[in-house]
Amino acid sequence: MATEVVIPMLGVTVEKGKIVEWLKNEGDSVERGESIFIVEADKVTTEVESPASGILAKILIPAGQEVPVLTVVGWITQVGEKLPDVAQAKPASPPLPDTVAPQPAAAASHTGPPPAPAAGGPVAIVPAARKLAQAKGLRIESLTPTGPDGVILLRDVEAAAAVPEAKISTLAQRLAATEGVDLQGVAGTGIRGRIMRSDVQGALAAAKRPALGKIMPMENIRQVIARRMSESAFSAPHIYFFTDIWLDPLLDFRQAVLPDFEKEFGLRLSINDLLIKAVALNILDFPILNGRVQGQEIHIAADVNICLAVALEDGLIVPAIANADRVGLVDIIRQRQDLVSRARAGKLTMAEIERGTFTISSLAQYDITHFTAILNPPQSGILTLGKTRDELYLNDEGAVKSRRIATFGLSVDHRIIDGAVAADFLQHLKHRMERPAFTFLSL
């Protein structure tokens, strides 16, 4: 019996998903639970598993298209089974070869390797591309197609003609054609100046950088950030609190346990790991900071999952350390390393983003002493951390001494968190951070 392949529900706030890549081609065998395509939504890419074993008989939505969740994007059949009538027609059928109108270079619809033409059969190519290939003296069989069903498009010929064939790798040529990169301006870093895929990726990144007088389209990730930040700023009245925390005890504590941590567990303990744990323990004393507004009710989450903001090239993402109040520092380190690594590789799951109940945002690596932050909806609290700096002070004996401090800020949703509660939360966190031996004694 034929089985539908659909865009799954990707979270309570997600309405659409974009197919990034099909991992299987039409006609390929698939196993139930095997990843068959990659979908992107709200800054997260997710591998979607096959709902059944059989043959991927029909791909209805090609890579590059965004559709609502639960849309049928393909069909799986058993060997010898015919597709049902409802699955016969694609929503947007690609034009036939030799009648296809040239497409803009940026409108690529297939990011994975295109299916190869049948052995001994004619090469599928649009007329304009065939004419240009003949004019440039290019062998059609040597071109890398990026069009639907393996059709060679005009942009494929243009990419191949831009530089000598020996000067560009196949992967670089395919990426350049898909993304519309002009290879004339790309410097190769491979052997004898060969243009590699990483060179094309660098050119893509450079094209996305702001410049005076430039009009830039908002990428999907930036649209998501804009929408969520606007919703947060206009729906939740923010109130801000700041305090300076003496960090010498915490820094000395970390330095004392670091060698044993690395020797025993092979892990490097960071200040962020200690901060995540301290915040999670603090929330146990102030559970309202783990709450969120839902209609006319305040819902306080049962789990304390601390988000750590991770800066990406094109935005910010906030994966959450699960059960940070209950797990030890070793588990926090492992979760943090794994989440940050996969965040930068675009391999987080939607669950790892949406499970967060409180967020930490640090700019300690910059010369920024303090800053305010917009709440990460629907959360009700976010903690900010500026750079560590030296400060002179008078000790109890009247002598001038130096100590290391950092300014911590707390933004809260004033609809459910009163100023006194927020101030008390920050005061208790200061107490924990300045007495680390006591705070982490039971861990």
Same CATH fold, 221-439 and 3-87? no
Instruction: Write down the mean pLDDT value for the chain.
Output: 82
Query: Quick check: 203 pLDDT over 50?
Result: yes
Cross-strand pairs, 152: 125
Tokens of 79: 């060997």
Rounded CA separation 377/321 (Å): 17
Q: Crossing angle, helix 419-434 and helix 248-265, to 10 degrees?
A: 60
Predicted confidence band of residue 347 (pLDDT cuts 50, 70, 90): confident
Tokens of 315: 């935005």
Query: Quick check: 93 pLDDT over 90?
Result: no
Taking the alpha carbons of 32, 36, 40, 45 in that order, is the dihedral positive or negative?
positive
Which pLDDT tens digit goes with each residue over 204-226? 777 777 778 877 777 766 777 78
Task: Please give the pLDDT value at position 159.
Answer: 80
Rounded CA separation 66/82 (Å): 28
Please tell me what DSSP assigns to residue 94: P
> Collapsing DSSP states into helix, strand and coil, what is residue 164?
coil
Rounded CA separation 123/121 (Å): 7
When pLDDT is averaged across residues 45-74 and rounded to a whole number, the result is 87
Would you list the DSSP string of 179-238? HT--GGGPPP-SGGG-B-HHHHHHHHHHHTS--TT---PPPHHHHHHHHHHHHHHHHS-E
Predicted confidence band of residue 7 (pLDDT cuts 50, 70, 90): confident
Greater confidence, 68 or 112? 68
Query: Quick check: 440 pLDDT over 50?
Result: yes
Question: What number does CATH give the domain 221-439?
Answer: 3.30.559.10
Find out whether 280 and 304 touch, Cβ atoms under 8 Å.
Answer: yes
Rounded CA separation 348/363 (Å): 22
Cross-strand pairs, 29: 55
When pLDDT is averaged across residues 88-105 and rounded to a whole number, the result is 40
Most confident of 125-134, 183-192, 402-411, 434-443: 402-411
Task: Please give the pLDDT value at position 107.
Answer: 36
Query: Quick check: 174 pLDDT over 70?
Result: yes
Measured between alpha carbons, how far is residue 62 from residues 31, 173, 228 in Å? 21, 21, 28
Query: Using alpha carbons only, how large is the chain's radius of gyration in Å?
Result: 27
Task: Please give the pLDDT value at position 113.
Answer: 44
Which pLDDT tens digit goes with each residue over 348-361? 888 888 899 999 99
Cross-strand pairs, 400: 394
C-alpha 250 chain-centroid distance? 31
Cβ contacts of 256 within 8 Å, gap of 6 or more: none
Question: What are the domain boundaries of the chain?
Answer: 3-87, 96-217, 221-439
Predicted confidence band of residue 338 (pLDDT cuts 50, 70, 90): very high
Percentage of the chain modeled with pLDDT above 90: 38
Predicted confidence band of residue 120 (pLDDT cuts 50, 70, 90): very low
Greater confidence, 112 or 61? 61
When pLDDT is averaged across residues 186-214 and rounded to a whole number, the result is 75
> Collapsing DSSP states into helix, strand and coil, what is residue 329?
helix
Rounded CA separation 289/65 (Å): 39
Predicted confidence band of residue 270 (pLDDT cuts 50, 70, 90): very high
Rounded CA separation 216/236 (Å): 30
Query: Quick check: 95 pLDDT over 50?
Result: no
Rounded CA separation 234/236 (Å): 6
Task: Please give the pLDDT value at position 108.
Answer: 37
Task: Please give the pLDDT value at position 8.
Answer: 83
When pLDDT is averaged across residues 365-384 and rounded to a whole number, the result is 94
Greater confidence, 108 or 292? 292
Find out whether 290 and 357 touch, Cβ atoms under 8 Å.
Answer: yes
Report the range of poorest mean pLDDT among 192-196, 261-265, 410-414.
192-196
Task: Please give the pLDDT value at position 352.
Answer: 87
Phi, psi of 439 (to 5 degrees): -60, -45
Report the range of poorest mean pLDDT among 4-8, 105-109, 161-165, 249-253.
105-109
Query: Quick check: 434 pLDDT over 70?
Result: yes
Tokens of 312: 């990406």
The position carrying tokens 């800053």 is: 371
Amino acid at 365: Q
Spell out a b/e string for 237-255, using b for 16 or more CB atoms within 10 Å of the CB, else e.
eeeebebbbbbebbeebbe
When pLDDT is averaged across residues 335-352 and rounded to a whole number, the result is 86
Task: Please give the pLDDT value at position 412.
Answer: 97
Rounded CA separation 337/225 (Å): 24
Query: Quick check: 378 pLDDT over 80?
Result: yes
Question: What number does CATH give the domain 3-87?
Answer: 2.40.50.100
Which pLDDT tens digit goes with each residue over 13-58? 577 888 888 988 888 889 888 889 988 876 677 788 898 899 998 8
Query: Quick check: 65 pLDDT over 90?
Result: no
Instruction: Write the burial class of residue 236 (CB in 10 Å: 0-12 exposed, 13-18 middle, 19+ buried).
Output: buried
Dihedral angle, C-alpha 393, 396, 398, 399, nearest 10 °: -60
Predicted confidence band of residue 182 (pLDDT cuts 50, 70, 90): confident
Task: Please give the pLDDT value at position 231.
Answer: 81
Task: Please give the pLDDT value at position 111.
Answer: 42
Task: Please give the pLDDT value at position 272.
Answer: 94
When pLDDT is averaged across residues 365-372 and rounded to a whole number, the result is 94
Greater confidence, 303 or 158? 303
Task: Please give the pLDDT value at position 80.
Answer: 80
